[in-house]
Amino acid sequence: MSSLLAVNDLVAGYAADLPIVTGVSLTVSPGELVTIIGPNGAGKSTLIKAMAGLVTVMGGRVELDGGDITGIQTHKLPSSGIGYVAQSANIFTTLTVQENFRASGHTLGRDMHDRIAEAYEIFPDLAPYKDKKGRVLSGGQRQMLALGMTLLCRPRVILLDEPSAGLAPAIVQDVFARLRGLADSGLALLMVEQNAHAALELSDRGYVMAEGAVKIEGGANDLLEDPQVAEIYLGKRRAQ
Amino acid sequence: MGQLIADGILTGAILSLGAIGVTLTLGILRFANFSHSELVTWGGYFALTFIIFAGTSAETFGPLSFGWPFVAAIIVAAVATALLALLVDALVFSRLRRRGAAEMTLVFASFGVALLLRHIIVLIFGPQAAYYTGTLQFAVEILPGVRVMPDQMLVLALTLLLVVGLYVMLKYTRLGIAMRASAESPNLARVHGIDVRVVVRWTWVIGGGLAAAAGVFYGLTVQMRPEIGFTLLLPLFTAALLGGSGSVFGAVIGGLVIGLSESLSVLIIPTGYKQAVPFLILLLILYLRPRGLFGDAAR
pLDDT digits (tens, 9 = 90+) for B246-292: 788 889 999 999 999 888 888 888 888 888 888 888 888 888 887 77
Q: What is the pLDDT of residues B5-35, one digit of tens each?
A: 888 999 899 999 999 999 988 888 888 999 9
Closest partner residue to A75 (CB to CB) among B184, B195, B297 is B195
Interface contact A103-B181, CB threshold 8 A = yes
- Nearest chain B CA: its distance from A30 CA (Å): 21
Interface contact A77-B191, CB threshold 8 A = yes
The answer for B 173-212 residues in CB contact with A (under 8 A) is 174, 177-178, 180-181, 183-185, 187-196
- A–B CB contacts, 8 A cutoff, strictly below: 70
Q: Is the pLDDT of residue A144 over 90?
A: yes
Closest partner residue to B192 (CB to CB) among A53, A94, A106 is A106
pLDDT at site A206: 95
pLDDT at site B246: 79
Interface contact B187-A78, CB threshold 8 A = no
Decide which of B3 and A68 is more confident. A68
Q: Is the pLDDT of residue B41 over 60?
A: yes
Contacts of A107 in chain B (CB under 8 A): 193
Interface residue A136 vs chain B (CB under 8 A):
no
Angstrom distance (rounded) from CA B292 to CA B251: 10
Contacts of A76 in chain B (CB under 8 A): 193
Q: Is the pLDDT of residue B298 over 60?
A: no
Interface contact B185-A92, CB threshold 8 A = yes
Interface contact A78-B184, CB threshold 8 A = no
pLDDT averaged over every residue in chain A: 91
pLDDT at site B244: 86
Q: Is the pLDDT of residue A1 over 70?
A: no
Decide which of A85 and B298 is more confident. A85
* A64 pLDDT tier (thresholds 50, 70, 90): very high
CB contact at 8 A, A99 and B180: yes
Q: Is the pLDDT of residue A34 over 90?
A: yes
Distance between start and end Cα atoms, chain B = 33
pLDDT at site B296: 57
Interface contact A92-B180, CB threshold 8 A = yes
- Nearest chain A CA: its distance from B57 CA (Å): 45
Interface residue A88 vs chain B (CB under 8 A):
no
Q: Is A21 helix (H, G, I), strand (E, B) or coil?
A: strand
Type of residue numbered A79: S
Q: Is the pLDDT of residue B174 over 80?
A: yes
Contacts of A94 in chain B (CB under 8 A): 180, 183-184, 296-297, 299
Contacts of A149 in chain B (CB under 8 A): 192
Q: What is the pLDDT of residues B102-158, one digit of tens each?
A: 989 999 999 999 999 999 999 999 999 988 877 777 777 878 888 888 888 899 999
Q: Is the pLDDT of residue A234 over 70?
A: no
Region A103-119: what's the mean pLDDT? 90
Q: Is the pLDDT of residue A240 over 50?
A: no
H helix intervals, chain A? 44-51, 77-80, 97-104, 112-122, 139-151, 169-184, 196-202, 220-225, 227-234
Mutant choice from B187, B188, B197, B245 vs A, greatest count of A C-beta within 10 A:
B188
Angstrom distance (rounded) from CA B93 to CA B106: 7
Interface residue A197 vs chain B (CB under 8 A):
no
Q: Is the pLDDT of residue B299 over 50?
A: no
Interface residue B19 vs chain A (CB under 8 A):
no
Interface residue A151 vs chain B (CB under 8 A):
no
State the pairing for strand pair A67-68/B140-143: unpaired
The torsion of the CA quartet A92, A97, A102, A104, rounded to 10 degrees, works out to 50
Interface contact B196-A102, CB threshold 8 A = no
CA angle B287, B290, B293 (to 5 degrees): 115
Q: Is the pLDDT of residue A184 over 90?
A: yes
- Nearest chain B CA: its distance from A135 CA (Å): 10
Contacts of A54 in chain B (CB under 8 A): 187, 190-191
Region A83-108: what's the mean pLDDT? 92
Smallest CA–CA distance from B193 into chain A, residue: A75
Interface contact B193-A54, CB threshold 8 A = no
* A82 pLDDT tier (thresholds 50, 70, 90): very high
* A101 pLDDT tier (thresholds 50, 70, 90): very high
Type of residue numbered B148: V
Interface contact A84-B191, CB threshold 8 A = yes
Contacts of B291 in chain A (CB under 8 A): none
Q: What is the pLDDT of residues B208-261, one digit of tens each?
A: 999 999 999 999 888 899 999 999 999 999 999 888 887 888 899 999 999 998
pLDDT averaged over every residue in chain B: 89
ipTM: 0.90
pLDDT at site B297: 41
pLDDT at site A166: 82
